[in-house]
Amino acid sequence: MADKLGEWDYRIVFSTGGPPFIELIEGGTGSPWNAAGGARFDHIGFWSSDVRKGSRRLEEEGLPVDFSGCPHGRPFVYHRMDSIGARIELVDTGRQAAFLDAWHPGGEPMPDVDETFAG
């Protein structure tokens, strides 16, 4: 699937068949998915009941924000986790039904990080 976020065009595909899902994403120079240095393990994603609250919690735990899609109308955020050499992504659980419809039709909902209890 091809899409645009802010000024960046990107292409994305997910594995099918159920969790865990493998995401391949390609973005141009300067984008949050810049692959100019070559392919790499980029992030681990989690569904979140409240992306903004979860993002604040991760910042308080020492994981700085690397990029937020929220200002672009997309409810996701990446945090740097240098100890694993990758990012942690939080995605709003409200997007899960559309994700499942596209990549795993009929698939069961996946658990989320419930930010009312986290932290």
User: What percent of the chain is modeled with pLDDT above 70?
Assistant: 98
Which pLDDT band holds residue 12 (cuts at 50, 70, 90)?
Answer: very high
Q: How far apart are CA 115 and CA 102, in angstroms?
A: 26
Mean pLDDT for 110-115 is: 95
The mean predicted confidence, pLDDT, of the chain is: 93
Tokens 């929220």 belong to which residue?
70
Domains identified in the chain and CATH numbers:
2-103 (3.10.180.10)
Question: Cis (ω within 30 of 0) for the bond into 20?
Answer: yes
What pLDDT, in 10s, does the model give residues 27-65? 989 999 998 888 889 999 999 999 999 999 999 999 999
